[in-house]
Amino acid sequence: MMPPRPLFVKIAPDLGRRELDDVIEVVQGVPLDGIIATNSTLGRRGLSTGSTEAGGLSGRPLRQPSTEIVRYLYAGTRGRLPIVGVGGIFSAEDAYEKICAGASLVQLYTGLIYAGPTLPHHINTGLIRLLRRDGFAHVSEAVGCAL
């Protein structure tokens, strides 16, 4: 028999606090392995030029809203559920911001497209420097440290 596969729920960055509270309540009551925060946004906040194109927006404009949601979910779950931080990660500093907000893992998408296949190496190297600077021996010690 195969072991069960991990199950994560991916949420939108467009959810308000009341909806995030509902997510927290639901995920704590079901057998779930974690939350992916966040998907692409339908909003256009943070763009330097107007856009009327339909569809999800990802990348840098998503960095801050996504990090705020990671922070809110981490606090709301008291760090008991892994959170994958997604949105606007282009550097070690961006990844570290998500980790310090409560992400146990980070996912690259748009940053990888623009920076290429060496981005994970640069992020890992930078994370080592940032962790040492802040006195952490392991990335798990930094998860949620900004709260």
Per residue in 67-108, pLDDT tens? 999 999 999 999 999 999 999 999 999 999 999 999 999 999
Residue that wins the pLDDT comparison between 4 and 23: 23
Beta bridge partners of 34: 8
pLDDT, the chain, mean:
89
Per-residue model confidence (pLDDT) at position 19 = 97
- pLDDT tens digits, residue range 46-68? 545 555 665 555 677 789 999 99
Residue that wins the pLDDT comparison between 100 and 4: 100
Q: What is the CA radius of gyration of the chain?
A: 16
Beta bridge partners of 57: 41
Name the amino acid, one letter, at 77. Answer: T
Q: How many Å apart are CA 9 and CA 119, to the nearest integer?
A: 26
User: Which range is least confidently modeled, 1-5, 20-24, 37-41, 133-137?
Assistant: 37-41
Question: What's the CATH fold of domain 8-40+55-142?
Answer: TIM Barrel (3.20.20)
Q: Where are the beta strands (DSSP E) in the chain?
A: 8-11, 34-37, 83-86, 105-107
